[in-house]
Amino acid sequence: METVAHIPKYGLNEEQEKKLILREYRSLLRSLKTKLKPGDRKLIRNAFEIAVEAHKTMRRKSGEPYILHPLAVAKICIEEIGLGVRSTICALMHDTVEDTDITLEDVEKEFGNEIGRIVGGLTKISNVVDVNASKQAENFKKILLTLTDDPRVILIKLADRLHNMRTLDSMKREKQLRVSSETVYVYAPLAHRMGLYSIKTEMEDLAMKYMEPDTYRQIARKLAETKRERSKFINEFVKPLKDKLVKNGFDFEMHGRPKSIHSIWNKMKKKAVDFEEVYDLFAIRVILNSTPEKEKEDCWKVYSLITDEYTPSPERLRDWLSNPKSNGYEALHTTVMGPQGRWVEVQIRSKRMNEIAEKGLAAHWKYKDGGNDESRFEKWFHQIREVLTSQDTDSVDFLQDFKLSFLAEEIYVYTPNGDVKMLPTGSTALDFAFSVHSAIGVQCIGAKVNHKLVPISHKLRSGDQVEIITSSKQKPNEDWLNFVVTAKARNKIKDALKDEKRKIAEDGKYALQKKLENMGAAFSQHNIEELVGWFKLNSPLDLFYQIAVKNIDLKEIKELKVHGDKIEIPKPVKALEIKTDSGIPSKKDAELIIFGESSDKIVYNLANCCKPIPGDDVFGFVTTGKGLTIHRTNCPNAAKLMANYGHRVVKTKWAKNKEISFLTGLKIIGMDDVGVVNKITTIISGDLRINISALTIESKEGIFEGHIRLFVHDKEELDELVIRLKSLNGIQTVDRFDTDAS
């Protein structure tokens, strides 16, 4: 729930604001009531007063007093994550060190080392040394380092991010896009990993609201329209189950809840279906009141009763009772065939499991008994710690690796002795080898999975038993990086390759030194850096290596001028021009109005990954050497670009211009009927006068699939065409595809 009362930009007077702040503070104390010990109230009051004083002159973008934000974050920590008094104090103080005169020493003096450490972990890095490093990734790395000492840092950070997402309306469009992308790219998967499912879902939905507003509104509208019919169906489905459970003496709650807009949209994309065809728009949840020693048995009994009533789908049974996820999630999921021939997902869990599913990590401590789950979280932290301490890759790589290694769902794989290893989904035999030991990874030449010989790139599945085969002659090569997903494997391979590269580079270094001395130039840092820049390489090591493997000819260096003992690099001359990727000459200079520094004449091109056309929601991305690249906001690469390089995102808008055409593509699927091609081309060329660039149609067993590449002026024209094509008899789907994918 939204926790801040919204104030119009110039709304309340000082007196009313004071009342509002006090009201929010009292509400915070009420939430904490059950957790307060003697002396706690005084500490919280102290933190509140320090924060009010520190932020007193500050306002949020919406015009409301800034202190409402820390108050709201603290409330989310208590009510939605289940944290206690210490975390409340940290949440109240979380922005003071960064934005006000208060220092970390002040916080420590006032509240002790533990709270000082957490607040320190929440304080962003203000001056990242490396210009190219993404500030976001650096901050993220810092948060993670503190996370491994105290997970509360990340939980408070998630509460902070959730409140920012809930109040994103008053921000500028590009800020909305950047914050939403970051959220979907890093924070939602992290919330999921921490077991905070409802927070993860809300974050994804809110991000989608800003990144794909039209689709979001459309699905929300359809969900509202079908609500009555859904409730009727749920009641009909649940009635016989409730009767059975009551008859068998279970103490339980049972309710249906709609799936999130984001997950419905994902299903529509994945399965290429319309909203009407997404069957599991909701899930039924059964929560049992069982004692810890009986809860597993009770869940299976309830499963048995449900599947007596409705037929289950055998491949959709998920048993997280015997093998909980590493974030502690335990439940039994099954999908059954309900009335009216509709599939329904049913989730069965005990009250304790439900609390862990809602509150994740925080609930863990409540049930802490040194059990198996605790060690799972510990293992996860240990893996992160290991990777962070051996980190020397650049931040963006790090963020990408982190996402793949630690935010993915995991599989369980067994060693030959039957020990369990947890690995992210998509891991290969080589990842497993490195997880056993770096020395085994480096020498891995193959594996036996369930006693069958497989290559090192073989993808593992949960339950596989893996034995690694090694050879002392084996050496890692660049290809290995293409099929490992764990950060540990990637780092160790990179280290091994670097060592190898260093050995080879020694020859190049020696050759370059001789060449420079012959030319009368010094073998100095200045000259080496000039050459690195001239050949557009990343480091001196790359330069020496490229010379050693003969990719760089020393003759090119010989032609450079030497002044004193310094090399002079000729400066490149750049002409400003406007070009489009479609290969069609532009007739006007203003296909795009670009709001940026100098919007008169800007080099830009349209991204190949998503082929934007006028009318699409777009953003500009500044690429080194290439000027501006225009991407659609729902481009597959958008989240990564905006999350990692928010500072390079430029707000862009299309100018109306009917003189230029843009290449785009449509994929059509339908019944293979006589004359269908004729009908399609009549609409495109005859009725709408759109130029077709290429058309392929393949027919198979009565179904045809057509790919059409065509030139349109803007999105309106494309939308009109899609509506016309969909209205043809026998046409099942018409989807836009990115022309490169053909």
Instruction: With residue 254 as reference, give the H or E element that holds it.
Output: strand 252-258
Positive/negative CA dihedral, 256, 262, 263, 264:
positive
Tell me which residue of 492, 485, 320, 318 sits closest to 406, measured CA to CA.
Answer: 485
* Residue located via tokens 């863990």: 364
Contact 446, 454 (CB under 8 A): yes
Q: Which DSSP letter does residue 337 get?
A: E
Percent of residues in the chain assigned helix, strand, coil, to nearest 5: 50, 15, 30
What lies within 8 Å, CB to CB, of 350 at 6+ separation is: 287, 288, 289, 290, 295, 298, 299
* Residue located via tokens 């198979």: 700
Dist CA 441 CA 446 (whole Å): 10
Contact 621, 631 (CB under 8 A): yes
Active site residue 98: yes
CA-based angle 696:698:701, to the nearest 5? 165
Active site residue 392: no
60 is written with which tokens? 């949020």
**Which member of 49, 53, 98, 308 is catalytic?**
98
Tell me which residue of 605, 718, 631 sits closest to 667, measured CA to CA.
Answer: 718
**Which member of 17, 40, 79, 99 is catalytic?**
99
- HEC profile for 487-550? HHHHHHHHHHHHHHHHHHHHHHHHHHHHHHHHHCCCCCHHHHHHHHHHCCCCCHHHHHHHHHCC
Instruction: With residue 664 as reference, give the H or E element that holds it.
Output: strand 662-671
* Residue located via tokens 């020693």: 293
Tell me which residue of 139, 164, 175, 134 sits closest to 154, measured CA to CA.
Answer: 139
Active site amino acids: 98-99
